[in-house]
Structure 1
Amino acid sequence: MTYIIFKIKLSFYLFILISYLAPMLSTSSKYAIKAVLWLALHSDYENKIKVKDIGKPINVPPAYLAKLLQALARQGVISSTKGPKGGFYLSEANRNLPLINVIEVIDGGARITSCLLGFENCNAQKPCPLHALVAASRQELVEKLETRTIDSLSTELEKGQSFLPL
């Protein structure tokens, strides 16, 4: 019974988080996060994965995914090797990076802290109507994204505490 209540609460909080993040993350960042977490579950130096083998299970077009993964590899968020036995993978160093690194490479740092209504000059001195409503929770979210690692999220996936719909 306690486990069921935990799962319901976790699902509710994930729904709220995703609803809140929806305007804050681009589709590209969402795809990149799914790909990185998939790599965390299925790859290592000995088991490199090609783009086409990542794109299919996470339902992301391979050409689009290739550009995202190349950007992440250039910035050291994921690792890659070229050649016939090449592909993408996560090293231990990659796994220990905070999730916000994925978002910053793909969307830049400003998107996650940008105004929910899209106003360019929204800030504490000149707030939009939603600014006060979300300011504290936005800061808390950014702090969590800065401290939660790729590895900690993949561990939750492995334990069944969260899921990737594949």
Structure 2
Amino acid sequence: MFSKACEYGIRSAVYIALQSLEGRRVSVTEIAEEIDSPVAFTAKILQQLTRNNIVRSVKGPHGGFEIEREDMDAVKLNMIVKAIDGDKIYMGCGLGLKECNEHKPCPLHDRFLDIRNNLSTMLRNTSLYELAVGLEEGLTYLKR
């Protein structure tokens, strides 16, 4: 459903949030290792997240990536998806047809519309803080 870049973007942001809760900044290398992503690919994704004010990059010997605690509540998953994949997840046909709409629907049109709407609601209502806390409490995990 999400592109590989978007999956890594969500994982990166959640990991950075978790480490930020513990008062740590993290390097690209550490993030890549923790989310099972190539370092160069992770760096490009982190550039997009930084440009879109989702994470903060601090340069220097004690630098790295971080997210302020107060920003963790404000950053919702839909912001990460939009920063990396744009809005395409909310549009388009479930079967990939070029023309699919209410006047000329594909066989999945109505069912897929419901799924897309539910996904949109979940992404708009889920914060980085919620996901980081789940990791911190051991209820969820990022690595296989």
Say whether the fold is shared (TM-score over 0.5). Answer: yes
Secondary structure of the 2:57 match is: strand
Partner of 1:72: 49
Which one scores higher on RCO, CA 8 angstroms, separation ≥ 6? 2
- Alpha-carbon distance in 2 for matches of 1:84, 1:44: 20
Q: Is residue 44–residue 89 contact of structure 1 (8 Å, CA) maintained in 2?
A: no
- Alpha-carbon distance in 1 for matches of 2:121, 2:78: 9
RMSD: 1.8
Alignment of 1:27-46 (within 5 A): 27-43=4-20, 46=23
Shift of 1:95: 0.9
Aligned length: 143
Alignment of 1:107-146 (within 5 A): 107-146=85-124
Could you tell me the percent identity over the aligned residues?
34
> Counterpart amino acid of 1:122?
C
Gap regions ≥5 residues in structure 2: none
Q: Is residue 20–residue 67 contact of structure 2 (8 Å, CA) maintained in 1?
A: yes
Shift of 1:89: 0.8
- TM normalised by structure 2 equals 0.89
Alignment of 1:39-118 (within 5 A): 39-43=16-20, 46-96=23-73, 97-118=75-96
Partner of 1:152: 130
Shift of 1:124: 2.2
What do residues 107-161 of structure 1 show as CA deviations (whole Å, max 9, x unaligned)? 0012343322222332223222111122112201111110111111122222333
